[in-house]
């Protein structure tokens, strides 16, 4: 089936054709982000394939439908960027990739934590300058420390297993207890109990109205002084201004993020020759105890290959009427409406 890809990143021009040898779809790659104006690029393609940067509002969806699109194939788990009511009203099917590699993100969270704690990024630069001083590089043993995990789904569970392997105690918060985590000895507590008890707090929940700014001024006022916060979930789970205040006061001992509230204007492009306009982000970059990566938690060979395979299998499934229910977001009526980003 002819499929028009919006906001295509360079690696996707390799991973999708590789997976497509088993499917034989006609893939058309566009760098353009989906807007009502760029929807016409999909003319003649029954499928539009969207990334998280593509905001599929009512107008853009209507323009896609007018161009002949019937399937929106998301190459992400989240679908907050799609107006599902509009898609349903327009009779568009929306499919997603509910899971690819939880290990990719959990292992990236570990990398962030280890780097921030043991300051290997600073050591790397120092050694290249022939500065062998250890001043300022002291970390702490993770062994026997308490780690708080918010959200114990696929990624949260994978991260918990890693932390338990390092000899940590784990407290968790999630409206739904994961029985496998309970079996591992994880204790579920309300966030009010989790904040002050943890040396490390890792966020692995989706962005929903309930989790937006979950880590706010009140939460940061309750954390153990010097605790480290790791966020690989979604930027807006954290109130960035409150976090900056907590870093300035020293209450928050360190911050490592793979996601940022306003990342849409920054991440996934080379802005090295530009003047950054986001003063909040620039302030974050000045802290010695802040580590930022540009939404690369998912970026492993295995995860990228799995995203391409499942997305194209959804396109094939649409032709045959066999898209797995877990991958279907809408099919003329809304079948999955849990808000997440
Ligand atoms: P999942 O759906 O398997 O697990 C999410 C868990 O969060 C569920 O157990 C759910 O009950 C829980 N949750 C929902 N509301 C909550 C709340 N108010 N408080 C605490 N827990 C809550 O999702 P998965 O695959 O583990 O992904 C988690 C998140 O990781 C995604 O929603 C996404 O935001 C982020 N992610 C980040 C990536 C990256 O590259 N940095 C890549 C993939 C996902």
Q: CATH no. for residue 174?
A: 3.40.50.720
- What is the spatial distance between Cα 211 and Cα 215, in angstroms, rounded to a whole number? 8
Same domain, 67 and 124: no
Please report whether residue 338 resides in a domain: no
| Residue 256 dihedral angles phi and psi, to the nearest 5° | -125, 125
Ligand 1 pocket test: pick from 81, 149, 151, 176 the residue with the most ligand atoms within 8 Å of its Cβ: 151
14 in any annotated domain: yes
Give 341 Cα–ligand 1 centroid separation in angstroms.
9
Q: pLDDT (tens digit, 9 = 90+) per residue, 98-148?
A: 989 999 999 999 999 999 999 999 999 999 999 999 999 999 999 999 999
pLDDT per residue as tens digits for the range 243-268: 999 999 999 999 999 999 988 889 98
Which domain range does residue 27 map to? 2-100+301-330
172 and 46, same structural domain? no
* Cβ < 6 A, ligand 1 pocket: 77-78, 102, 105, 150-156, 173-176, 204-208, 210-211, 232-234, 258-259, 295, 297-298, 340
More confident residue, 196 or 207: 196
Write the burial class of residue 169 (CB in 10 Å: 0-12 exposed, 13-18 middle, 19+ buried). middle
pTM: 0.91
What span, in angstroms and rounded, lies between the C-alpha atoms of 248 and 316?
Answer: 52
Give residue 91 CA to ligand 1 midpoint distance, Å. 28
- The Å distance, Cα 154 to ligand 1 centre, comes to 8
Q: Which helix (H) or strand (E) holds 104?
A: helix 102-118
Atom of ligand 1 at shortest distance to CA of 153? 4
pLDDT exceeds 70 at position 336: no
Q: Is residue 339 part of a domain?
A: no
Residue minimizing CA distance to atom 35 of ligand 1 = 233
Q: For ligand 1, atom 27, which residue shows the shortest CA distance?
A: 155
| Number of domains forming the structure of the chain | 2
Determine the Cα–Cα distance for residues 294 and 225; give it in Å rounded to an integer.
Answer: 27
> Does residue 226 come out as left (phi exceeding 0), alpha (psi in the -120 to 50 range) or beta?
left
């Amino acid at each position: 089936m002819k499929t028009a890809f919006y906001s295509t990143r360079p690696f996707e021009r390799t991973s999708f054709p590789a997976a497509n040898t088993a499917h034989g779809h006609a893939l058309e790659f566009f760098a353009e982000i989906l807007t009502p104006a760029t929807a016409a690029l999909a003319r003649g393609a029954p499928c539009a394939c969207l990334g998280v940067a593509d905001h599929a509002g009512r107008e853009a969806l209507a323009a896609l439908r007018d161009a002949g699109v019937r399937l929106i194939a998301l190459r992400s788990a989240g679908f907050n960027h799609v107006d599902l009511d509009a898609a349903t009203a327009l009779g568009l099917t929306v499919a997603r990739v509910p899971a690819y590699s939880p290990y990719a993100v959990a292992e990236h969270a570990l990398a962030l934590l280890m780097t921030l704690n043991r300051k290997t990024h600073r050591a790397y630069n120092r050694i290249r300058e022939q500065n062998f001083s250890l001043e300022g590089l002291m970390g702490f043993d993770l062994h026997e420390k308490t780690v708080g995990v918010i959200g114990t789904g696929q990624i949260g569970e994978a991260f918990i297993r890693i932390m338990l392997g390092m000899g940590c105690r784990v407290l968790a918060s999630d409206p739904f207890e994961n029985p496998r985590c309970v079996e591992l000895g994880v204790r579920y507590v309300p966030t009010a109990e989790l904040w002050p008890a943890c040396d490390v707090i890792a966020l692995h929940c989706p962005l929903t109205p309930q989790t937006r700014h979950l880590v706010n001024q009140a939460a940061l006022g309750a954390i153990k002084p010097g605790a480290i916060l790791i966020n690989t979930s979604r930027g807006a789970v954290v109130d960035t201004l409150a976090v900056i205040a907590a870093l300035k006061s020293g209450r928050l001992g360190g911050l490592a993020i793979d996601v940022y509230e306003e990342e849409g204007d920054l991440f996934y492009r080379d802005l090295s020759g530009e003047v950054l306009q986001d003063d909040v982000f620039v302030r974050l970059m000045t802290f010695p105890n802040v580590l930022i990566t540009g939404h690369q938690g998912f970026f492993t060979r295995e995860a990228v290959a799995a995203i391409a395979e499942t997305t194209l299998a959804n396109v094939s499934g649409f032709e045959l009427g066999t898209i797995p229910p877990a991958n279907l977001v809408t099919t003329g009526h809304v079948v999955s409406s849990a808000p997440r980003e």
